[in-house]
Amino acid sequence: MTEKSSELLLRVKGLKVAYGAIQAVKGVDFEVRAGELVSLIGSNGAGKTTTMKAITGILAMNQGEIEYLGAGIAGRGAWELAGKGLVMVPEGRGVFSRMSITENLQMGAYTRSDKAGILADIEKVFGIFPRLRERRGQFAGTLSGGEQQMLAMGRALMGRPKLLLLDEPSMGLSPLMVDKIFEVVREVYALGVTILLVEQNASRALAIADRGYVMESGLITMTGAGRDLLNDPKVRAAYLGE
């Protein structure tokens, strides 16, 4: 486990986001501190991805406050926030399909100008994902879903994130590849990267989380230590089929 800090990296207060007349997020409060792995779980349509997109500037919020590193970031563009270390791996991965693995990783460092550091970080990513090293010249679009997820995570790491947001990293993957992705999430966390993990696989997400939040119909309905939520009868009945 990484060393915990009292530093508050992310604070979300009263967040509301709508798609036209549909209120997808109805007033959400939560926080992430340096050195934590925080999981946000909930069923499909609960508002998890919408929350992530609002945090990273992809969607505009209707109401509320979002603070990152102690400053309000409402209205900031995703590219600007990435330059400040707030980086998201989106649902669906979003790799550049007609670019090579190496080129995709280089795109992850687009806010940087330290060429030697970028090359060193590419080698670090290949150390975490040996399969990508083997295919470094291959077009990203020819990779399997699991390999594309690895690439998307590696590309995000190239931005040297202070806070890494992972949106449904296990979605659509085989059980074997899900095991690998969660293994990598733990490895990245052990390197000292603070992580906010949105995941439908509640048991896997809570098992590795310091803290968790349960989201239902656009609201946070429960919060607690990851293990406590994992063992909570209500959570087990709603999300673990017990």
> Hey, what amino acid is at 22?
I
Residue 23 lies in a domain: no
Q: What's residue 3's pLDDT?
A: 53
Structure tokens given for 73: 């970031």
Taking the whole predicted model, whether its pTM rises above 0.75 is answered as: yes
Q: Which residues of the chain have pLDDT under 50?
A: 1-2
Residue 7 lies in a domain: no
Residue 64 lies in a domain: no
Neighbours of 231 (CB within 10 A): 12
Domain count, the chain: 1
pLDDT digits (tens, 9 = 90+) for 90-100: 887 789 999 99
HSE (side-chain half, CA atoms, 13 Å) at 26: 12
Residue 9 lies in a domain: no
**Considering just the CA atoms, what is the radius of gyration of the chain in Å?**
17
Using alpha carbons, list the distances in angstroms from residue 72 to 57, 77, 158, 159, 230: 12, 13, 25, 21, 32
Using alpha carbons, list the distances in angstroms from residue 33 to 71, 156, 161, 163: 14, 19, 14, 9
Range of the domain at 143: 34-59+76-239
Angle at 96 between CA 92 and CA 101, to 5 degrees: 105
Q: What's residue 4's pLDDT?
A: 59
Residue 108 lies in a domain: yes
- Strands 8-19 and 63-68, sheet pairing: antiparallel
Q: What's residue 1's pLDDT?
A: 44
